[in-house]
């Protein structure tokens, strides 16, 4: 270590500033990792995508959990240090992080509604004027 580095100790305020400056970049890296994982699982040139494995689920869960924790840490640190701009940036990044974790989840959430039950499988519709209706 050089003499200049030893003579300038890093105070607690400086450490907080360094951490506060690095946390948004960490959130952005984790958002990118989540998008990469989503594409790794679901992007395919064939008609049928591969099955989602337990490894894919675990990788997503760990990455999303770390991402949300880092984003919340950025918000809390900005509040504790009373930095308004850092707080606004942290809240925006936390919202992006939570949104990406929800929308690009692995396995994909089922956004489609349940199929409608159309009655028994042997049901034949009765059209007016066809004279094929049971009971008239």
**Per-residue confidence band for 130, with pLDDT thresholds at 50, 70 and 90:** low
- Give the pair of three-digit tokens for residue 136: 């008239």
DSSP string, 22-79: HHHHHHHHHHHHHHHHHHHHH--SSSSPPPPPHHHHHHHHHHHHHHHHHHHHHHHHHH
Q: What is the pTM of this model?
A: 0.67
- Give the pair of three-digit tokens for residue 116: 């409608």
- The residue assigned the tokens 């003579």 is 7
- The residue assigned the tokens 């209706």 is 133
Secondary structure letter of residue 123 according to DSSP: -
Q: Is the pLDDT of residue 7 over 60?
A: no
Residues 6+ apart with CB under 8 A from 52: 41, 106, 107, 108
Which tens digits make up the pLDDT trace of 67-125? Answer: 999 999 999 999 998 889 999 999 999 999 999 999 888 876 655 667 777 666 776 77
């Amino acid at each position: 270590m050089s003499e200049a580095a030893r003579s300038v100790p890093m105070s607690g305020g400086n450490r907080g500033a360094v951490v506060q400056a690095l946390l948004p970049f960490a959130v952005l890296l984790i958002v990118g990792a989540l998008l990469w994982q989503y594409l790794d699982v679901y992007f395919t040139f064939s008609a049928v995508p591969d099955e989602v494995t337990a490894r894919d689920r675990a990788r997503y869960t760990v990455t999303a959990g770390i991402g949300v924790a880092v984003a919340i840490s950025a918000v809390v640190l900005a509040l504790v240090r009373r930095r308004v701009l850092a707080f606004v940036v942290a809240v925006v990044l936390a919202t992006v992080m939570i949104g990406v974790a929800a929308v690009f989840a692995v396995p994909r959430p089922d956004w489609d509604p349940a199929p409608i039950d159309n009655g028994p499988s042997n049901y034949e519709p009765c059209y007016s004027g066809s004279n094929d209706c049971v009971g008239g």
